[in-house]
Structures are given as C-alpha cells and as structure tokens.
C-alpha cells in the first residue's frame, strides 16, 4: 500500500487541525556539497540564536566528554545524516509562508523516517555506524525541531502555530503519519509495535535504546512464520510526559484499532528494562511515579485521558496483558530468558494516599489503587496502559495487547567512544531476539 495520506486524514490522525498539502517524496536526494552550516552551533541567517529551546534540543552541542566534539554532530556524521539535516534548515529558510512551512515539515519529517528505515533495514548504505543504531534518528530529529523553533519566518508566526509545526515534524519523523500495512496475503497477521527514543541522557549522551532500534528494523516488513506471514508497522515514542499527555500513544495505535479492514490483529509496546531480561509484563498500572523525562519534567499520579480518542467510562486501575505470552516464551528465542513478569505495588482499597499503606505483591487486590506495575510506573508502563485502555475504549478487546520489556545494553568502557564491535553485536542480539518475539506473538495471534 501507499504511504501517502490525504490532508484531512493527516490532520485528524495527528491531532492537528491544519490542512496541508503533502508531498509524495520519500528519501532525500541531496548533494554532497550541501553546506554543513545547519549542523552544530552554526545556523543560517534566518535563524534566531535566542530562541527558547527544550532541554533535549539544548543537548545538541554537548560533547560526550569535556573538550570533545558534540555527540550529536558525531552521530549525524557517522550515519551520513548531515546533508539531510542541513537541507531541511536551508529549505525552511526559503519557506515564504506558514502553509509552505507546514508542507515542508511533514514532507521532511516523513523523509527522515524513511531514510532511517532504509538505513536500518539495509536498503541504503550511508555512513560508517552500524545500521542497527537508533541514535542518529534521534539527534537528527532534534536538529530539525530546533531549526523550527529558531526560524525567523518572513510572516508572523504565533507560538501556537510554531508549536504545531514542531508537532507535525515530530509525528512525521516517528512514523505516525505513514502507518499503512504493507502488501501481503489476505491471511497475513497484522502487528503494530512501538519503541522508544534513547533516554537518561544526563547520564550519557551515547545511550541507545534497543526498542527504538527494533522499531526501525521492523516497520513495513513481513516476517515469515510457520503460521503464515506477519506484517508489521511500528513507531518510535518520545520519552516525554508532555507528549503522552497530548495523546501520542493514542494517535499511533488508534489508527489500527478502528473497526474496519485495517484493524490490527495484535498490538505491542516495547521498551528497555534492566540487563539480561526479556519480560512480558502481566499488568499495566494507572500510575505515574514522577521520574524525570528527557526534558527533566516530572509527573506523579494517575494517567491522563486524551479527549480526542474513545476511552472507557472509568479508567481502570489495572489492565492485564492479553499477549500470547506462553507462545512467546515457548518460541525459544535467545540469548535472554523470556518470562511473564508479575509483581505490583498498590494502595489496598481505602488506604490511598497514606505512603505507609503501599504494599507489593504478585497481583492487584480488589478495589486497590495502583502505585506501580511489574514494569514500573514510568513511560514504559504508561505506553502499555494507554494503548490497551484505548483498545478497550475502541471495543477492540479481541485484539491482543500488552508490553514487552527487553534487555539493556553494555557500552564500551571508554566514555568518549560512540560504539564498538562488542557493543554492536550485543545490540544486534537484543534486537534480533525482540524481532523473533514479535514474530512469535504474531504467529500465535487469533
């Protein structure tokens, strides 16, 4: 199927009420002579250096170690993404009005996503870094959103309009605007998955996220299994509470949970956990624990409800997985053991909010209030909760859904080194096992 979208449909799907004309262009075709001025600290003349940037965007110029080159610049060069980022900055400077800028950010965001997919799946050979590397997409996107915030437009652009441009660019570069099942036999099983951006960047700017790398490996692919073909669509979520409050999880999974011929047969959110574990989480909790996100924001309490997607009348405190976890465990993937992970923390009925009343046990008790699920109370848990609350709200209870936590990575000892053979082999092993588990889940879907 085509990946193009009509203007009204895109506006509805990404929650933005602006009608824009979309281009059908796919990958960038840029000259190797394109200036690198838009990469790093230097920007074209049409950019304001005093623009208000997010914490994530402010990390662009930071080195891995003191006195070194910007980590972001190293990742762009290593992946061969420098020219694409510079071209976007140049094109945005040339945009004569808001409508042209809207068209450009969607076209360029989708092109960045397609470029990252082509590189990850071996269809395009650019740069020197391993094709399983998810980090160049993250840093390229930040360069582009920073450019939008710094753009001195030839016409007046309000804060709301500028934020809408960033929103369109962000969603397009995460795969949300190009969700289409690939052509496959009529009996193919359709699986929608999500991964995450890198995070904990205040600890290290070289962090990778194998769940995001898995999403890049799988989007648009058909996996052959003994039970028949499994076709996959994927997106990569930000590690930001604000984006979740705005409904990015629902914007993604809502597209494949409608009661029509495009409904998914299984949905799965994926994220990174501790080392050496592959956990199918038994429960999702209606709880936010307050850990800081990539913009250092914190939130605590129940999970918000988006207004633009159907929801159950009352948000359940707990949602249990319906993934075919027994088949996933029995698939015998490696190198890490696969388990159904239980264990929750709750306020028993009538005890909230007394801190001393919180207790932890295998499963929730009747009438309890959620404190954390087996997968915690951060955005991993929330991605499972939101996607499956939406699944219930859209009356898609027959579609299995749940969350898979996958092993963390081991990085090179030298903190100034981006990558290395052992690190790359380790990430490939984790990603390949995750792909195998997606295939096993799809093969077992009813």
pLDDT, position 324: 98
Prior bond of 183 cis (ω within 30°): no
E strand spans, 115-219:
189-196
Does the CA dihedral 429-432-437-438 come out positive or negative?
A: positive
Mean pLDDT of 234-260: 97
For residue 218, give the 3-state DSSP assignment: helix
At a CB cut-off of 8 Å and minimum separation 6, what does 194 contact?
211, 215, 234, 235, 236, 237, 249, 252, 253, 268, 269, 270, 383, 387
CA dihedral 159, 160, 162, 164 (to 10 degrees): 160
How does 64-90 read in b/e, with b if 16+ C-beta sit within 10 Å?
Answer: beeeeebbbbbbbbbbbbbbbbbbbbb
pLDDT, position 183: 86
User: pLDDT-derived band of residue 11, with 50, 70 and 90 as boundaries?
Assistant: very low
Model confidence pLDDT, tens digit, residues 274-297: 999 999 999 999 999 999 999 999
User: pLDDT-derived band of residue 19, with 50, 70 and 90 as boundaries?
Assistant: very low
Percent of the chain with pLDDT over 90: 87
Q: With helix as H, strand as E and coil as C, how does 125-143 read?
A: CCCCCCCCCCHHHHHHHHH
Rounded Cα distance between 348 and 346, Å, is 6
- The helix (run of H) or strand (run of E) holding residue 28 is none
Under a CB-based contact definition with an 8 Å cutoff, are residues 75 and 208 in contact? Answer: no
pLDDT at 14 over 70: no
Under a CB-based contact definition with an 8 Å cutoff, are residues 237 and 194 in contact? Answer: yes
Percent of the chain with pLDDT over 70: 90
Model confidence pLDDT, tens digit, residues 430-444: 999 999 999 999 999
Q: Which of 27, 244, 230 is nearest to 124 (CA)?
A: 27
The CA-to-CA distance between both ends of the chain, in Å, stands at 24
pLDDT at 399 over 90: yes
Rounded Cα distance between 201 and 190, Å, is 34
Under a CB-based contact definition with an 8 Å cutoff, are residues 105 and 113 in contact? Answer: no
Rounded Cα distance between 305 and 286, Å, is 11
Name the DSSP class of 272: E
Rounded Cα distance between 67 and 443, Å, is 51
Q: What are phi and psi of 322, to 5 degrees?
A: -120, 15
pLDDT, position 44: 63
- The helix (run of H) or strand (run of E) holding residue 250 is helix 248-253
Q: With helix as H, strand as E and coil as C, how does 279-343 read?
A: EEECEEECCEECCCCCCCCCCEECCCCCCCCCCCCCCCCEEECCCCHHHHHHCCCCCCCEEEECC
pLDDT, position 182: 87
pLDDT at 108 over 90: yes
User: pLDDT-derived band of residue 303, with 50, 70 and 90 as boundaries?
Assistant: very high
Model confidence pLDDT, tens digit, residues 335-388: 999 999 999 999 999 999 999 999 999 999 999 999 999 999 999 999 999 999
Does the CA dihedral 358-359-360-364 come out positive or negative?
A: negative
pLDDT at 140 over 90: yes
Q: Which of 367, 246, 374, 372 is nearest to 314 (CA)?
A: 367
pLDDT, position 160: 97
Per-chain mean pLDDT for the chain: 91
Q: What is the longest distance spanned by two Cα atoms in the chain? A: 67
Rounded Cα distance between 247 and 334, Å, is 34
pLDDT at 395 over 80: yes
Considering the entire predicted model, what is its pTM?
0.90
Structurally, at CATH architecture level, domain 182-444 sits in 3-Layer(aba) Sandwich (3.40)
The structural domains of the chain, with segments of one domain joined by +, span: 55-171, 182-444
Instruction: Average the pLDDT over each of 5-9, 143-147, 290-294, 367-371 and give the range with the smallest value.
Output: 5-9
Name the DSSP class of 401: E
Which residues are 344's β-sheet partners? 361
Rounded Cα distance between 146 and 161, Å, is 15
């Amino acid at each position: 199927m085509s990946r193009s979208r009509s203007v009204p449909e895109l506006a509805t799907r990404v929650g933005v009420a602006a009608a824009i004309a979309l281009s059908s262009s796919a990958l960038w075709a840029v000259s190797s002579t394109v200036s690198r001025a838009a990469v790093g600290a230097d920007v074209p003349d049409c950019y304001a250096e005093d623009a208000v940037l997010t914490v994530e965007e402010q990390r662009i110029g930071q080195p891995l170690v003191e006195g070194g080159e910007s980590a972001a610049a190293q990742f762009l060069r290593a992946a061969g993404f420098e020219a694409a980022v510079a071209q976007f900055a140049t094109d945005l400077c040339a945009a004569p009005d808001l409508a042209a800028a809207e068209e450009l950010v969607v076209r360029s965001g989708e092109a960045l996503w397609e470029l990252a997919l082509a590189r990850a799946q071996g269809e395009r050979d650019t740069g020197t870094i391993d094709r399983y590397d998810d980090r160049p997409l993250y840093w390229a996107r930040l360069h582009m959103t920073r450019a939008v915030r710094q753009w001195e437009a030839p016409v007046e652009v309000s804060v709301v309009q500028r934020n809408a441009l960033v929103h369109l660019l962000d969603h397009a570069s995460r795969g949300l605007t190009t969700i289409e099942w690939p052509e496959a036999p009529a009996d193919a099983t359709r699986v929608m998955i999500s991964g995450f951006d890198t995070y904990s960047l205040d600890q290290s700017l070289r962090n990778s996220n194998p769940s995001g790398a898995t999403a890049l490996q799988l989007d648009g692919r058909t996996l052959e299994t003994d039970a028949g073909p499994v076709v996959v669509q994927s997106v990569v979520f930000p590690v930001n509470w604000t984006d979740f409050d705005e409904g990015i999880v629902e914007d993604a999974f809502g597209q494949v949970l409608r009661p029509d011929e495009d409904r998914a047969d299984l949905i799965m959110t994926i994220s990174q956990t501790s080392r050496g574990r592959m956990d199918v989480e038994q429960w999702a909790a209606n709880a936010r624990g307050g850990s800081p996100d990539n913009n250092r924001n914190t939130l605590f309490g129940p999970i918000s409800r988006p207004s633009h997607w159907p929801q159950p009348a009352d948000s359940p405190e707990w949602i249990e997985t319906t993934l075919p976890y027994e088949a996933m465990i029995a698939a015998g993937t490696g190198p890490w053991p696969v388990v159904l992970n239980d264990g929750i923390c709750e306020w028993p009925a009538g005890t909230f909010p007394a801190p001393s009343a919180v207790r932890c046990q295998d499963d929730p008790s009747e009438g309890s209030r959620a404190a954390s699920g087996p997968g915690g109370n951060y955005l991993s848990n929330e991605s499972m909760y939101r996607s499956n609350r939406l699944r219930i709200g859209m009356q898609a209870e027959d579609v299995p859904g749940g969350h898979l936590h996958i092993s963390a990575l081991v990085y090179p000892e030298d903190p100034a080194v981006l990558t290395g053979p052992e690190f790359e082999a380790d990430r490939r092993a984790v990603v390949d096992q995750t792909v195998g588990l997606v295939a096993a889940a799809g093969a077992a879907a009813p």
